[in-house]
Chain A
Amino acid sequence: MSDTTASAPGFLTRATVMTGRSLRISRRNVDAVITSMMLPVMLMLIFVYFFGGAIDTGSAYDSYVMYVVPGVLLLCAGFGSATTAVAVSEDMKGGIIDRFRSLDIGGTPVLAGHVAASVVRNLVSTTLVFGVALLIGFRPAATPGGWLAVTGVLLAYITALSWISAAMGLLARTPEAAGGFTFFMSFLPYPSSAFVPVDSMPGWLHGFADHQPITPAIESIRGLLLDQPVGNTPWIALAWAAGILAVAVAASGVLFRLRTR
């Protein structure tokens, strides 16, 4: 009978197993995944073909699609991360979290698994958005270093937004409410330079639009993709992402303890 006992697995094993679980589950919830992938693509098409002609982005951009892609990428990250909240909330509602706890798994590996799966899902949908963007005339001119930086900034934001989303899943009492909580993440890109230049917005919005966390990400991704000078904006973007992530991890630790008292 001693062969049925095993030593407690380390953090990495637990997080890896939880990631595999979340990925399997998302692979089987195809509808949800497809919705979160199609929405940004549709929005991109709407912006480029319906509104694009009416938006003046200045002479630096050959066409509106050159301007809007970074915003759509961030929008996509927002939509993609939002499903994490629902998944975490489902876990908390069911009996499975009790079982995980009785196995001494702990909250962080469970959340880390959801976040890691979210990052993988987002990489797929980001690639899709990129593909469609290329089809409709997006012509990036990034250097290899630029590509690396774009990937880095996107990954950092996706991770941070996913972990915020996980924390909201802990905060919400029901999965439906969790879905609602993440709504604002999908809207954060709008009051920024994502779709229209900030100058075209009413004056009182400038302060927020210029200093909200999404703006440096959009500015740096846009600049890097088009090989324009970006200064230290990528670093500011990364600092924001790191800050958000740190807050999200700390908050979710506290929330998990409160929810499982």
Chain B
Amino acid sequence: MPDVMIEAHGLTKSYGRPSARVRVLDGIGLRVARAGVFALLGPNGAGKTTTVRILATLTTADAGTARVAGYDVVADRRRVRRAISLTGQFAAVDETLTGEENLRMMARLTGHSRARSRQRAEELLERFGLTDAARRLVRTYSGGMRRRLDLAAGLVGSPEPGVFFLDEPTTGLDPRSRRELWQVVRDLAGRGATVLLTTQYLEEADQLADRIAVLNKGRIAAEGTPEQLKSRVPGHRLDLVLTTREAYLRLAARAVHHSPGSLTLGLPTDGTAAQTRALLDEIDPQRTDVDRFSLHSATLDDVFLTLTAENAEPADTAEAPARV
């Protein structure tokens, strides 16, 4: 097995009629090493699902190349499919079958004998804590149970350790189910699997991933270990209540937090008195625009918002606030 399990260069993809083409991916490059968890973090519409679908051979890129488990996703589609397991964003299990029937069907479809399929289903139900619900229709499962079954179904046939694509595996789950799922992902990685997961939650990426790529508007805005990413944004946020709408609009572009109703903007800062004072002087030399201010420690959400800021230039987003 190669050391780099997922490798992509310059992936682009557009959707829509020729007259109204929308570029959904704009030169994505990725390198994911064997074993471990890689998180693709991004807001709605960033292109996470599209990236996963290209890597999982379900759609083709307009330009660029990708290799998964050492095979080209276009030329060697068959081999790639045999090396991967996909759990898509939307549940891919049959609601009117039981959990056990779903798993047995998937096992049969991956070429296991009837007897082996039954055994394999039993193993996975056990491993995902679904043994008690095995004979119930999936329709009656909770969201968390369904997601676990979905993951189990993805594991049925593919040889472990392989490459796992999990598209927003915890979206819509309550905190407890989310934690359970995190454990499942850690177990997978612990067994030597390479996991690429997508998520909208920085906390999740932080908890699970060895490396994170922040995807925004079809580009990689930043990439690195969770620590590296966190160090690239300032640790504090200065919240300003402004006096006029003009001042609000003038400064909105620099803010990482917006609340137009109360004319409040949050600007990144390192939290030192010197920098805070300088920042206030710089943005409000006449001392008329800022009514009140407060200082907060930056949350993970601020980091994410900074990296995916609406008007930010891709790639060097993280440095921009530091120059303030």
Chain A partners chain B: yes
Q: Which of A's residues lie within 8 Å of B, judged by CB?
A: 1-2, 4-9, 13-14, 17, 20-21, 24-25, 28-29, 94-96, 98-105, 260-261
Interchain CB contact under 8 A, A99 and B94: no
Interchain CB contact under 8 A, A29 and B96: yes
Query: Which secondary structure dominates chain B's binding surface?
Result: loop
Interchain CB contact under 8 A, B92 and A103: no
Min CB–CB distance A5 → chain B (angstroms) = 4
Known: A4-B120, A96-B92; 12 extra A-B contacts, CB below 8 A, are A6-B112, A8-B110, A17-B108, A21-B105, A98-B56, A99-B86, A99-B92, A99-B153, A99-B154, A102-B56, A102-B58, A103-B81
Least CB separation from B137: chain A residue: A28
Interchain CB contact under 8 A, A104 and B94: no
Least CB separation from B139: chain A residue: A28
Interchain CB contact under 8 A, A101 and B94: no
Interface residues of B in 83-98 (CB under 8 A from A): 84-86, 88-94, 96-97
Knowing A25-B96, A95-B92, A98-B88, say if A4 contacts B160 (CB, 8 Å).
Answer: yes
Min CB–CB distance A19 → chain B (angstroms) = 11
Least CB separation from B90: chain A residue: A95
* Alpha-carbon gap, A108 to B91, bound state (A): 22
Please give, as numbers and ranges, the residues of chain B lying within 8 Å of A24 by CB-CB distance: 96-97, 101
* Alpha-carbon gap, A101 to B89, bound state (A): 15
B78 on the A face (CB < 8 A): yes
Interchain CB contact under 8 A, B96 and A95: no
Interchain CB contact under 8 A, A105 and B109: yes
* Alpha-carbon gap, A1 to B153, bound state (A): 17
B5 on the A face (CB < 8 A): no
Interchain CB contact under 8 A, B109 and A17: yes
* Alpha-carbon gap, A20 to B112, bound state (A): 16
Given A1, A6, A95, A96, which contacts B157 in the complex, CB threshold below 8 Å? A6
Q: Which of B's residues lie within 8 Å of A, judged by CB?
A: 53, 56-60, 78, 81-82, 84-86, 88-94, 96-97, 101, 105-106, 108-112, 116, 120, 137, 153-154, 157-161
Please give, as numbers and ranges, the residues of chain B lying within 8 Å of A95 by CB-CB distance: 88-92
Please give, as numbers and ranges, the residues of chain A lying within 8 Å of B58 by CB-CB distance: 98, 101-102, 260
The tally of CB-CB contacts under 8 A between chains A and B is 89
Please give, as numbers and ranges, the residues of chain A lying within 8 Å of B157 by CB-CB distance: 4-6, 103
Interchain CB contact under 8 A, B86 and A102: yes
Least CB separation from B112: chain A residue: A6
Please give, as numbers and ranges, the residues of chain B lying within 8 Å of A260 by CB-CB distance: 58-59
Knowing A9-B109, A24-B97, say if A94 contacts B91 (CB, 8 Å).
Answer: yes
Please give, as numbers and ranges, the residues of chain B lying within 8 Å of A100 by CB-CB distance: 109
Interchain CB contact under 8 A, A103 and B94: no
* Alpha-carbon gap, A179 to B116, bound state (A): 38
Given A1, A2, A9, A98, which contacts B108 in the complex, CB threshold below 8 Å? A9
Interchain CB contact under 8 A, A4 and B159: yes
Given A2, A6, A101, which contacts B110 in the complex, CB threshold below 8 Å? A6
| 10 tightest A-B CB contacts, nearest first | A6-B111, A95-B92, A95-B90, A99-B92, A95-B88, A102-B86, A5-B159, A9-B111, A96-B92, A28-B96
Least CB separation from A7: chain B residue: B111
Please give, as numbers and ranges, the residues of chain B lying within 8 Å of A13 by CB-CB distance: 108, 111
Q: Can you show 11 pairs from A to B with CB atoms below 8 A apart?
A: A4-B120, A4-B158, A5-B157, A9-B110, A17-B109, A95-B92, A99-B153, A102-B84, A103-B109, A105-B109, A261-B60
Please give, as numbers and ranges, the residues of chain B lying within 8 Å of A25 by CB-CB distance: 94, 96-97
Interchain CB contact under 8 A, A104 and B159: no
